[in-house]
Amino acid sequence: MLFKFNPHCNCVGESKFKMTTVENADDVKEDELFCKKSRLDVNNEVTTTETEELFNGVEISKLTKSQMKKYKRMLQWQSVKKLKRAKEKLRTKNRKYEAKMQNIDIGPSRKQLKSAKMANSPCKIGVVIDLSFDELMINKDMGKVIKQILRVYTENRRATAPMQLHLTSFVGRCKEEMSKHNGYENWDMHFHATSYLDVFPKEKLVYLSSESDNVINELEQDKIYIIGGLVDHNSHKGVCHQKAITEGIAHGQLPIGEYFHFVSRKVFTINQVFEILLRVSEGKTFKEAFEMVLPKRINMQPALDNSNIE
C-alpha cells in the first residue's frame, strides 16, 4: 500500500495524496503528476487567459518567434521541475510509510528538528570555525570554505543534540561569500566579527591541528574546539598549529593515528572534522566516528599498535 499523487485535488485542506495499491513509487506515470498551472496544451501551443501575462516585460500575444520559443522552454522547464518535486515528495512519503510499517527508525521528525536548537541542546561542547585566513586563500578557495561551512550547519541542524557552533573573524571576503546565501543571519549559529580570543576564556580553547603532539581521546563539555577555516592544499602546512602556539592556547589532534595508519599527511575538510566531533558528542567512539565520516576512498590501514585500544 503506497501513496499516489492526486492531481485533481481542488478542495482547500484536501490531501493531494491518496492511498492506493502501487508496487513502487517509480511505477507512477508522469501524466498522473502533471502540473495544473502549465500553459502548454497537448499540441505544445501556448494558451492565453483573460489576464494577459508578461514574459520579460512583453505581453505573450506580442512575443516574437524566438521569444515565444524561450517562453515555451521556460514553461516546460517549470512543469518538469514541479513534476520532479512532486515525484520526489511521493517517494519520500512512501519511504517513510514503509519504514514505519517495518519499525525502522528514520531519524528525528521535522518537528523535533525544529525544536532542536543550540540553546535547548544538552550538548554544551563548543566548536569554533576560525575564519581569519583571508589573506592565505584565493576567491575560489574561500568559496570552498563557505560550502564546507554550509555542510557543517546542515549536520548540526539535523542533530537531536546540536553542538554550540560559532564562526569567528567573520568579516571581509568570507562574509561577502556567505551573503550569497539569503537569510543566513537567521541560522542557528553564532557569528562573531572578532577573534575567538575576544569571545571565550583562553583556558577553554583547544585548536585542532594534525601537527600537534597532543592527542585528544575524549571531548570535554566545557571546552571550545577550534577548526581552522582554511582550504589546505599542503601549501599552508602547520599554520594552525603555529597560530595556537603564538597565541598561547592549547592545541591537539584527533586520535586517528591510534586506529589507522596513513601513508600521507592527515588533513581533512572542515565538515569532516566537525562531523567526527559531532558523532563523538552523540556517544560514538572516535574509531566509529572515523569509519562513519571519512570517505572509503581514503586508504586507511589499521594501526599496528592499537591492540590495547578500546
Q: Any idea which residues carry the catalytic annotation?
A: 232
17-20 vs 2-5, strand pairing mode = antiparallel
The Cα 178–Cα 172 span in angstroms is 10
301-302 vs 260-261, strand pairing mode = antiparallel
- Cα–Cα nearest to 166, from 152, 145, 147: 152
The Cα 96–Cα 88 span in angstroms is 12
Q: Report the first-to-last Cα separation within the chain, whole angstroms.
A: 46
Beta strands in 16-163, from DSSP E residues, in sequence order: 17-20, 54-55, 58-59, 126-130
Contacts 24+ apart (CB under 8 A), 153-159: 153/187, 153/189, 155/271, 155/274, 155/275, 155/278, 156/118, 156/188, 156/189, 156/274, 156/278, 157/113, 157/116, 157/188, 158/107, 158/108, 158/113, 159/116, 159/278, 159/282
The Cα 299–Cα 260 span in angstroms is 9
250-252 vs 205-208, strand pairing mode = parallel
Q: For residue 205, how many other CB atoms are within 10 A of its CB? A: 22
The Cα 296–Cα 299 span in angstroms is 7
The answer to whether the beta carbons of residues 125 and 164 sit under 8 Å apart is yes
